Structure 1
Amino acid sequence: MTRQLDATPAAGAGELRLAHALVFITPALWCVNYLVARWAPGVIAPHALALGRWCIAALLLLALCRDELAAKRAHIRAEAGQFLVLGALGMWVCGAFVYIGGRSTPALNIGLLYAAAPVLIALVSALWLHERLRPPQLLGVALALAGVLYILCKGDAHALARLQINPGDAWVSVAVLCWAAYSLLLRAWPSAFGATARLALIACGGIVVLLPFTVLEAVLWLPTAWSWQALGLVLAAALLPGAAAYAAYSVMQRVLGAARVGLVLYLGPLYSALIGWLVLGEPIEAFHGIGALLILPGIWLATRR
């Protein structure tokens, strides 16, 4: 039977309101990660940053859901393979690869590249998960995508032909593909655990995958000299784009579905521009405002019931 892109029937009014609020809050949390990626070079190596981030996030999440994990410990072994796969996609690739890319590409570029993920998620959700987009939601996707493209080409359609891909963009593009896979598998694979407990176990799976690559990075490429600045970056990445953003994403997916929740990434370019202006002093141009006038109504149309 075809699953429509309406909210999950079990979701109450309070959950729906929370999920729709998180649509606009979560991208702001993720944008902190783009700033961390830009500040990390010269302070902490990419895999060391990703590993530290998820070790702290996992400890926090495990403390919050320890009773559920103890009650359902028999299910952990049954889902262990899923936790490793999701951890590799969401914590290793979408962590370390973004930090490697951030060494040579601006924060706004990272947000723009991640804005392509909703198209992949929506298309594969329709084909694989049978989540149907209704006409108003299709219009919302089109508007949001148009807004992202308008920002990408800075209001000049001919600028798209002049775009150049640097090595950092390539690393982030791989992370975008893996984020789409993470989002779809998170929705497709059933789990005995709630959102927080499942994320805690996925983070543990990610740590297992990250450990050997972190050691190889330190030995063969980029050792890290720990400092208070490095610890600050790890804490910022662990608390905001780590535990908080991923937990919010899990809640939104359960209530709203994979395709619609993927659309929150369309807000990345706007939030990246705003944070870049507030923190890095980067100017906000007129094309950002016009893009926002397309993206925000698009998000509303695509996520409405």
Structure 2
Amino acid sequence: MPTEALRAQSRSKFALVLIWFTPVLWTVNLISARLAPGVVSPHVLALGRWFLAGLILTWLARAELWRMRDEVRATWRQSVVLGACGMWICGAWVYMAGESTGAMNISLIYASSPVLIAVGSVLWLGEHFSKRQMVGVVVAMSGVVHVVVRGDWTHLSQVNLVPGDLWIVAASMAWAAYALLQKKWHSPLGSTARLATICMGGVAVLLPFALFELASPDTPVLGWHALGLIVVTALVPGLAAYWIYGWTQKLLGASRVAVTLYLGPLYSGIAAWWVLGEPLGLHHVAGGALILSGVALVMARKRSA
């Protein structure tokens, strides 16, 4: 086998490992969304997060960004649109949701994103999505619901939406758009440089909203706790999660990578048990088994033509 083919195969295998850890990184953002109210306002947190992440990314990719400056200028509108979807709506709006809904609700509603991405990948990007993979989506989604209703599906009739849930509905749609547009708008930039340009677009969109919040007398004064949240969200669910998502999507396709978002509720439940001391029930185990089985069905390569 040629050396380049071996390298490509190795990168694909590494990507398959990495995507299982991406939802762990995003779980940090859900916890931060619940800790932020009264500490830092949503747009200020999102702006601080992506400004810091953007600075780091720009420094790391400075040589490539300068060399490709004509490409960066030519695609600035794409960067603004992607920044609005990924950093503004999927950033500040998630923190706004955290003011009135729980982290588990956020995870559940976000779990609709892979369905939107899968449909969009087939209809818009021309990606192949087999019957086996569709079964995997259904199985994984069943596991998500099983975790949220705590094993009692009759609770579905008692679901009440609050304003925060609606913010997350919008964020899940924006995430689908972010994933699909990244794949649609192919860029010659590397993963780090492209994420840096998207951060620039996101900061540009977030800035006026953050300034408006800072001018409000009800906005919390920035303290060490707020700065800590900004740094953590910039490094973990910001730099690490978004970079891994963008890089793995290039190698594996939008629909295959998106399905790992189903792991969010499972990981959130484990985090609540480990970090907050909340009980881990049988519904978590059963739901987790369904989620992992569904993700495995979607991620597995087809062995026969």
TM range (shorter): over 0.9
1:136: Cα distance to partner? 2.1
Which of 82, 85, 89 in structure 2 is aligned with 1:89?
85
- More moved, 200-209 vs 280-289: 280-289
**Alpha-carbon distance in 2 for matches of 1:268, 1:208:** 29
SS in 2 for 1:132: coil
- Answer yes or no: is 1:175 the counterpart of 2:171: yes
CA contact (8 A) 2:104 2:148 kept: no
Q: Superposition pairs for residues 193-212 of structure 1, below 5 Å?
A: 193-212=189-208
Within-5 A mapping of 1:1-305: 12-220=8-216, 222-305=218-301
Query: Is the CA contact 1:48–1:224 (under 8 Å) kept in the aligned structure 2?
Result: no
Distance (Å, rounded) in 2 between the aligned partners of 1:64 and 1:146: 41
> Using the alignment, how far apart are the partners of 2:20 and 2:200 within structure 1?
28
Q: TM-score, normalised by structure 2?
A: 0.94
The farther-off stretch of 152-161 and 91-100 is: 152-161
- The answer (yes or no) to whether the contact 1:79–1:191 under 8 Å persists in 2 is no
Q: How many residue pairs align between the two structures?
A: 297
Deviation string, structure 1 residues 178-226 (Cα, Å, up to 9, x no partner): 1111111011111121111000000010000000011112224742311
Give, in angstroms, the shift of residue 78 of structure 1: 0.8
Once the two structures are TM-superposed, the CA of residue 149 in structure 1 deviates from its matched residue by 1.8
Q: 1:42 to 1:19 in 2, by over 3 A?
A: same
Equivalent position SS for 2:100: coil
Distance 1:59 1:255 in 2: 26
The structure 1 segments of at least 4 consecutive aligned residues displaced by more than 3 Å after TM superposition are: none
Q: CA RMSD, aligned part only?
A: 1.4
Once the two structures are superposed, residues 225-258 of structure 1 have per-residue CA deviations (whole angstroms, 9 ceiling, x without a partner) of: 1111111100010000001100000011101111
Q: Which amino acid aligns with 1:31?
A: T
TM-score, L = length of structure 1: 0.94
